Each structure stands twice: as structure tokens, then as C-alpha cells.
Structure 1
Amino acid sequence: MKILVTGYNGQLGYDVVKVGQRQGLEMIGSTSRELDITDRLRVQDFMNEIKPDAIIHCAAYTAVDNAEDDKEKSWDVNVKGTKNLAEAAKSIKSKFMYISTDYVYDGKGTIPYKETDKPNPSGYYGLTKYEGEKVVQSLFENFFIVRISWVFGINGNNFIKTMLRLAETREELNVVADQYGSPTYTLDLSKLLIEMVQSEKYGIYHASNEGFCSWADFATEIFRLAEKRVSVSPITTAQYPTRAIRPKNSRMSKQKLVENGFKSLPSWQDALNRYLEELHNEVK
């Protein structure tokens, strides 16, 4: 199977390509340098040339705060770019998987969101990702939409790397404690996405490592496993204002995965432990 992965220079795209190659699949990773997804004609030419059996669309404008001000670019990448890719994929009869986000929900609920719950994004980034979802659903009868949350991988920046960097110079850190979600290791997620895209089990899915925590809980576990003596002081979202509103409840139910026979991902604590080992081995 030949699989095109957009956003190859990002955390998830990088690992999807790596995992697929290990499984003997023909993986083609593209970045904005090889493929500007906002250029409709270029996208169609690229698809006609490559002719992938499936596309895993990881590329996105993900600067959540900047999206509030740079709305045109955010829309161009997340909506127009997705439309260009989806239309080209349809023209060559390629499977299409769109990677979405927990930010399509406003985070005001108190229980995990089900795949069938109607999105209601509160920020512009979340809005553009939801509009991307709607584009995919309008073009395909069969599609994969996978909402993910709090990702961390070896390629690129993330919360874990930030915490470890701050731990070098700080003995105490204030970390938000009233936002809850599931940290997700891109290596674990990649294996699931590749299994999914090779199946015919289409639909909207939520995918993350098992278990929920707050950012403060997450930071505490990072420092414990990394053996860093840093004290975490829990603070509220109101005490740490950001340009874009963050969902307080990013918990997502993964019932659709279970119903379709996909194996649940390991706990986020287990994933964090393995990721820290991967980081350690990379430094060696």
C-alpha cells in the first residue's frame, strides 16, 4: 500500500511515516516545501503523479493563539488546503484520513465527549479544524476523521520538552490544573492510524492514550519519571490567560475504537515513560 502523509515535518506526520516504513509500506512524507496544500493545481498534479492508495492528512496550522490574529492563513491551510487535498484524493479514488482535534469542542462539558457529540469550537483554530471536518464529510461517502489531543512526539516541540527545559533552571513551576485531557504519544497513535487506514472501518473516531489528567498532573508525572526536583504549583486557567480560549474539558470517549475492534492505546503514563526513554536514547 502506498500512503501519502502530509505534515511530515510535524510530530505526528514524522512518526506515521516511520511506523509505516517499519511495517514495509510505501510511505511518502510531504512538507509544505514539496507540497503547498493551499495551491489547488499543484495538489492535483502531485496526486496525479504520486497516485497514493491512501492519504493521512496531518498537516495543519496549529498555532492556536496566532490563529486568532492570522485568520486568513489558518483558514487557507486548515480549510482550503484540506479541500484541495480531499478533492484531489477523490479524483484518484484514494482513501482519505483527516486528523482533527479536541479543540472542535468548547470544553464546557463535564464528561468525555462522544464521537457523535456536535462540535462547538470556541476558538478560531478549532473552528477551522471543524470546517475541515465538514469539507471531508461533504466530499466523501467513506472517510476517516480522527480527533486527537495533547500530542507529544520525538520530532518537534511539545509540553514535555518544554517542562524538561524549564526544569534545568527552575525549582518551582505554575501549571494549569483545571484543564483535563489525554496526553497522546505519536508513536502509539501512528500504529493505530496505519491500521485504521488499511481497513474499511470508516467514520469519525477519537484517539488518544488511555486515562485523563490535568496539565499540572502531567507535569508532575514528567518530573517524577525524569527524576527532576521541581515543585508544581497548580493554578487556574484564569490565572494563565492566553489569546485563544483553551477547552477545560478535552476528555474524549474512544467508544468507536472499541466498537470497531481496534485495540486501545496504552495508558498515558506508560506512553510518557517510553517517550522519555526515546528522548534519552536520542541524546546519546
Structure 2
Amino acid sequence: MKKVLVTGSNGFLGQKVVDLLAKKEQYDVIAISKGPNRNPNQVDYAFFQVDLSDRTKLTDFLAEHTFDAIVHTAAVTSVEACEADQVACQILNVDLVEYLASYCKAHQSQLIHLSTDFVFDGKKGTTYNELDAANPQSEYGKSKYASEQVIVQSNCHYVILRTILVYGINADPNRSNLVLWAKSKLSKNEPIKVVNDQWRMPTFVDDLAYACQLAIDREAQGIFHISGSELMSISEAVYKIADYWNLDKGLISEISAASIGQAENRPRHTGFDLTKSKAELGYVPTSFIDSLAIIDQQFKTFGR
């Protein structure tokens, strides 16, 4: 049995990772988050309320446990929030990661760290592999790339999972993403504006959670790209969402990234070469349409 710590367990991915691992006999799962546990599923794992920005409390908590793996999902992920408060971004996205990497090195624990396509500038014009040079264009992207560097330099046993535009559903009604936002607005017959000149390979959150498990199971090491396998513009994704739920596509207006100030701080074109993840992790992404069918069923499961 492997003892696994999941940070940011109240978060979108954090809840998914806890739910996935807790139901499997081979894991002893401990979840931590800054606030009280918001996951309706509170069985088969232990939860502790720990503020990751309070180094003393975090150190005290870690001193009481030894983990085989840490799945670190907590981060400031908003581009705008990182721009507005670069100090807070540095503390949570870089300094904390450096501390966890040092802990993992000292205790021979595996660190599974989440990163982003925003470490790239989006100018390559085709998919990025793990060896392509990073060139982040935003404070968020720079902080995530810096976190990757401190992990590599720590010489701990690490897995860095870079991902793209994560979507899906969990039990938290306050959590939103591209799919939930578009479906909600269009279901209410509300018009929406969608960027048509940024291209991504959207990632189903259930796939990303499973990739975290695969990294632990295979005791993987290194950087891996995790995303869907279908490249599409943001607007194309929204049209697919509308089609799946038979919603009015006439409510969708296409706009440019520049018109809403997102041309410079977000890459224009990112997509991942998944060859390494498929070969070394056994990762197989769910198709976009199949994931919408799963989400449709999960609406009922989560009572939403």
C-alpha cells in the first residue's frame, strides 16, 4: 500500500484525484486543503485542514507523516491573479514547490506536480513535445516554468504533468470551466462571446486524474504532456458543446483574443505530442465527444 498526499484537495483536480485513489485498495490517501473539506465523498481517506502558505503549520504536518508520493495540485492558476499579485504567485507557485521538492528529496518520496501549456509561447505552429524550449509569456506561465526548474534542480523523484485547458465536472457547484460555463449560459438562452483565434487540446479532468495515478503506479520520472488528442479553437470547442446538448449556436459570437486583452498573455496555439505519455505511462485520452457524454451522466451523479 502506498501512502499518498493530495494537496489542494478542495480544488477541481484535487477532488478528482482523491476520489479516484481513495476507492482503490493499494492507496492510503491523505488530503489537505486550506479550507474545510468540501468534498461530499468523505470516506476511505483522511482529511486535514492545512494552509500551504503557512510554512510552520505545513512543516509540522509533514513531520508527522511519511509519504510515498505527493500529488501537488494546489496553485494559483488564474493568469490575471498572477499578474495582479506576483508576490502571492511566487510564494504558492514556486517557493512552496521548492519546499515540497526538498521534502521529497529528503524522504525519498515521489512528487507529482501539475504544470501547463502556458510555459510555451504558442508560436511553434504545431504540437509541443517535452523537449521543446519553454518561453512563457505571462507571470502565470513564468511561475509554472520556474516551479519546473526548482523541481528538476532538487534531484528529487519527480513527475511533471503539463496539461491544457482542463474541463469536466465535480461535486462543487461553484467550480466552472469552459464546458460548464458554455452549457450553463446557452441553456439559459444567454448570448456568449468566445475567442476564435486561440487553439488548444482540451483536457478532460478525469483523464488528468488518471494520469496522476499512472505516474504513481509506474513510478515514473520526468516531464510528461497530458491533454486531449484533438486540436480545436476555443470557439470550435464551444460549438461542439452546443451541438451535444442541442443548444442554440446562434447565441455564440466569435471574438478575437486581442479584443479582450488576451493576445499577449496567453499562447495563440498550443497542443501536445502525447507520444511519450502514451508509451511510458500508458495514457489514453478520452475523445472530446465521449467526455461530454460522461459529463452528462456525472451531472446526475453529482445532483446538478
In 1, are the aligned partners of 2:168 and 2:179 still within 8 Å (CA)? no
Structure 2 Cα separation of the partners of residues 212 and 243 of structure 1 = 19
Residue matched to 2:150: 135
Are residue 101 (structure 1) and residue 121 (structure 2) matched? no
Structure 1 Cα separation of the partners of residues 256 and 169 of structure 2 = 29
In 2, are the aligned partners of 1:148 and 1:207 still within 8 Å (CA)? yes
Match of 1:152 among 119, 143, 167: 167
Are residue 194 (structure 1) and residue 195 (structure 2) matched? no
Match of 2:236 among 184, 209, 217: 217
Q: Which moved more, 1:56-65 or 1:170-179?
A: 170-179
Are residue 4 (structure 1) and residue 5 (structure 2) matched? yes
Structure 1 Cα separation of the partners of residues 56 and 163 of structure 2 = 30
Regions of 4+ moved over 6 Å: none
Match of 1:39 among 35, 39, 54: 54
In 1, are the aligned partners of 2:105 and 2:156 still within 8 Å (CA)? no
C-alpha distance 86-43 of structure 1, shift in aligned 2 (>3 A)? farther
Residue matched to 1:163: 182
Once the two structures are TM-superposed, the CA of residue 193 in structure 1 deviates from its matched residue by: 1.2
Partner SS state of residue 302, structure 2: helix
Q: Which moved more, 1:12-21 or 1:33-42?
A: 33-42
RMSD (CA atoms): 1.8
Match of 1:245 among 265, 279, 285: 265
Structure 2 Cα separation of the partners of residues 73 and 158 of structure 1 = 23
Structure 1 Cα separation of the partners of residues 74 and 113 of structure 2 = 9
Q: Which moved more, 1:81-90 or 1:127-136?
A: 81-90
Amino acid at match of 1:19: L
In 1, are the aligned partners of 2:8 and 2:73 still within 8 Å (CA)? yes
TM-score, normalised by the number of residues in structure 1: 0.93
Once the two structures are TM-superposed, the CA of residue 81 in structure 1 deviates from its matched residue by: 1.2
Identity %: 30
Amino acid at match of 2:240: E
Partner SS state of residue 193, structure 1: helix
Residue matched to 1:22: 23
Amino acid at match of 1:175: V
Structure 2 Cα separation of the partners of residues 241 and 261 of structure 1 = 37
Following superposition of structure 1 onto structure 2, how do residues 261-280 of structure 1 map, counting pairs within 5 Å? 261-280=281-300
Alignment gaps of 5+ in structure 1: none
Structure 1 Cα separation of the partners of residues 7 and 200 of structure 2 = 25
TM-score, normalised by the number of residues in structure 2: 0.87
Structure 2 Cα separation of the partners of residues 125 and 182 of structure 1 = 19
Residue matched to 1:226: 245
Give the number of aligned pairs: 284
Structure 2 Cα separation of the partners of residues 29 and 36 of structure 1 = 12
Offset from partner CA, 1:58-102 (integer Å, 9 cap, x none): 000112112112111111100011112222222222111111011
Alignment gaps of 5+ in structure 2: 36-48
Residue matched to 2:103: 88
